[in-house]
Amino acid sequence: MDKIVFRDKTIVLGVSGGIAAYKAADLADKLVQEEATVKVVMSQNATKFVDPLEFQSVTNQTVLTDLFDGDFKDQIYHVSLSEEADITVIAPATANIIAKAACGIADDALSTVILAARSKIVMVPAMNNHMWLNEATQHNLAVLKSRGIEIIEPEVGRLACGEENAVGRFPKTETVMDYLGLALARTQDLAGKTLLVTAGGTREPIDPVRYIGNRSSGKMGYAVAKAAVMRGAQVILVSGVTNLSPPYGAKFVSVETAEQMLRAVIENLEQADTVVMAAAVADFKPSRKSLEKIKKERMPKSVELELNPDILQAIADRKTNQIIIGFAAESQDMVVNATRKLKKKNLDLIVANDIAKPGVGFASDLNTAVLIDKKGQIGDIKTYKKTSLAEEILDWLGTYSSFK
Active site residues: 161
Q: Between vectors from CA 401 to CA 396 and to CA 403, what angle results, nearest 5°?
A: 75
- Site membership for ligand PMT, residue 341 (CB under 6 A): yes
- Site membership for ligand PMT, residue 353 (CB under 6 A): yes
**HEC secondary structure over 286-302:** ECCCCCCCCCHHHCCCC
Compute how many other C-beta atoms are within 10 angstroms of the C-beta atom of residue 393. Answer: 25
- Site membership for ligand PMT, residue 219 (CB under 6 A): yes
Q: Which of 30, 7, 36, 384 is nearest to 186 (CA)?
A: 7
- Site membership for ligand PMT, residue 360 (CB under 6 A): no
The site string for ligand PMT over 79-98 (x = CB under 6 A, - otherwise) reads --------------------
- Site membership for ligand PMT, residue 278 (CB under 6 A): yes
Collect all residues with Cβ–Cβ distance below 8 Å to 96 and sequence separation of at least 6: 16, 17
- Site membership for ligand PMT, residue 310 (CB under 6 A): yes
* 106 exposure class (CB count in 10 Å sphere: 0-12, 13-18, 19+): middle
Which of residues 178 and 354 has its CB atom nearest to ligand PMT in the complex? 354
The minimum distance between CB 66 and ligand PMT, in angstroms, equals: 47
The minimum distance between CB 268 and ligand PMT, in angstroms, equals: 14
Give the separation between CA 323 and CA 343, rounded to whole angstroms: 14
Which of residues 51 and 306 has its CB atom nearest to ligand PMT in the complex? 306
The minimum distance between CB 311 and ligand PMT, in angstroms, equals: 3
- The only residue of 30, 269, 362, 400 in contact with ligand PMT, by rule CB under 6 A: 362
The minimum distance between CB 215 and ligand PMT, in angstroms, equals: 7
- Site membership for ligand PMT, residue 154 (CB under 6 A): no
- Site membership for ligand PMT, residue 216 (CB under 6 A): yes
Residue 356 CA, distance from chain mean position: 28
* 361 exposure class (CB count in 10 Å sphere: 0-12, 13-18, 19+): buried
Peptide bond into 92 cis (omega under 30): yes
Which of residues 132 and 327 has its CB atom nearest to ligand PMT in the complex? 327
- Site membership for ligand PMT, residue 363 (CB under 6 A): yes
Query: Which residue intervals of 60-212 are DSSP H helices?
Result: 77-84, 95-103, 109-116, 129-133, 135-146, 173-184
The minimum distance between CB 284 and ligand PMT, in angstroms, equals: 9
Task: With contacts defined by CB under 6 A, name the span among 69-77, 88-96, 226-234, 326-334 that binds ligand PMT.
Answer: 326-334
Task: With contacts defined by CB under 6 A, name the span among 21-29, 122-130, 165-173, 215-223 that binds ligand PMT.
Answer: 215-223
Task: With contacts defined by CB under 6 A, name the span among 10-18, 70-78, 157-165, 306-314 that binds ligand PMT.
Answer: 306-314
The minimum distance between CB 399 and ligand PMT, in angstroms, equals: 21
Q: In 3-state terms, what secondary structure has residue 251? A: strand
Q: Which of 348, 328, 327, 341 is nearest to 403 (CA)?
A: 348
Helix (DSSP H) and strand (DSSP E) numbers for the chain: 14, 19
The minimum distance between CB 350 and ligand PMT, in angstroms, equals: 8
| Sign of the CA dihedral with 155 first, then 58, 88, and 107 last | positive
Compute how many other C-beta atoms are within 10 angstroms of the C-beta atom of residue 9. Answer: 20
- Site membership for ligand PMT, residue 312 (CB under 6 A): yes
- Site membership for ligand PMT, residue 311 (CB under 6 A): yes
- The only residue of 308, 322, 339, 368 in contact with ligand PMT, by rule CB under 6 A: 308
Collect all residues with Cβ–Cβ distance below 8 Å to 236 and sequence separation of at least 6: 194, 195, 196, 197, 250, 251, 253, 268, 271, 272
Total interface residues for ligand PMT by CB under 6 A: 28
- Site membership for ligand PMT, residue 275 (CB under 6 A): no
Residues in 229-258 that interact with ligand PMT by CB under 6 A: 258
- Site membership for ligand PMT, residue 361 (CB under 6 A): yes
Chain contacts with ligand PMT (rule: CB under 6 A):
200, 216-220, 258, 277-281, 283, 308, 310-312, 326-329, 341, 353, 355, 361-363, 367
